[in-house]
Copies of this chain bind each other. A is one copy, B any other.
Amino acid sequence: MRRPDELTRAFRAQGLKITPQRQLLFTLLHDNETHPTAEALYTVAHAQMPGISRRTVYQTLTDLVSMGELSSLAVGGGATRFDPNTAAHHHALCDECGALLDIYVDDLQFRAQGLEGFAASGATIVFNGRCATCVPNDLPNNPVINNKEHQQ
């Protein structure tokens, strides 16, 4: 997602208006790495702008997603989470606290059975386990999966 001032220009260029509600959400989302839900954003937004409506938060998020400024993630079965990081990346979901971390995967190689005839346009990878703050400190990390080279 671009900076608030760039988004402002982009919105106006499309004939969309700039409202205080939208500006607030731009700033709340910019560089936000928590992958917040709509409700989490509403809570923070509402603290700063008591009149804002949940409906507006949902609407603005939908707009940003359809403009490609934001992506929406359906992980873990709860509410949709939103991601202003538009670089190609994957995620790690902590089973315990629900934290969602950005993971950058390179040099991916594999053999797949079952993809014959399927016109794949991409793939999403979600690692699961425990994040650093949820791993008990006396237990060593898994030496195989938690290293540079991985095998499934």
Contact = CB atoms under 8 A, between A and B. Distances in A.
A16 interface: no
Contacts of A120: 92, 127-129, 142, 145-146
Interface string A63-104: 000000000101111001000000010001011000001111
Main secondary structure on chain A at its contact with chain B?
strand
A130 interface: yes
A152 B125 CA distance: 11
Given A114-B101, A148-B111, A151-B109, A127 B122 contact: yes
B129 A122 contact: yes
B109 A105 contact: no
Nearest to A103: B114
Contacts of A149: 109-111
Q: How many copies does the complex hold?
A: 2
Contact of A123 (B102, B113, B127, B139): B127
What class of interface size applies to chain A in its complex with B?
35 or more
Contacts of A146: 115-120
A124 B122 contact: no
A6 interface: no
B119 A111 contact: no
Interface of A: 72, 74-77, 80, 88, 92, 94-95, 101-132, 135, 139, 141-142, 145-146, 148-152
